[in-house]
Amino acid sequence: MSTETHSPRSNKAAIVFSALFPGLGQLYGGNFPKGAAFFFASIALDIYLLPEGYWGILKGEVDMNLSLYFRLVLLGSFRMWAVIDADRTVKRKNAEEGGTSLKP
| Residue ranges of domains in the chain | 11-94
Check residue 60 and give left, alpha or beta (phi > 0: left; psi -120 to 50: alpha).
Answer: left
Is pTM beyond 0.85? Reply is no
* Predicted local distance difference test score (pLDDT) of residue 1: 46
* Predicted local distance difference test score (pLDDT) of residue 102: 54
Burial class (CB in 10 A: 0-12, 13-18, 19+), 33: exposed
* Predicted local distance difference test score (pLDDT) of residue 4: 58
The whole-angstrom separation of Cα 26 and Cα 57 is 28
Question: Low-confidence residues of the chain, pLDDT below 70?
Answer: 1-6, 99-104
Instruction: Report yes or no: 55 and 85 within 8 Å, Cβ to Cβ.
Output: no
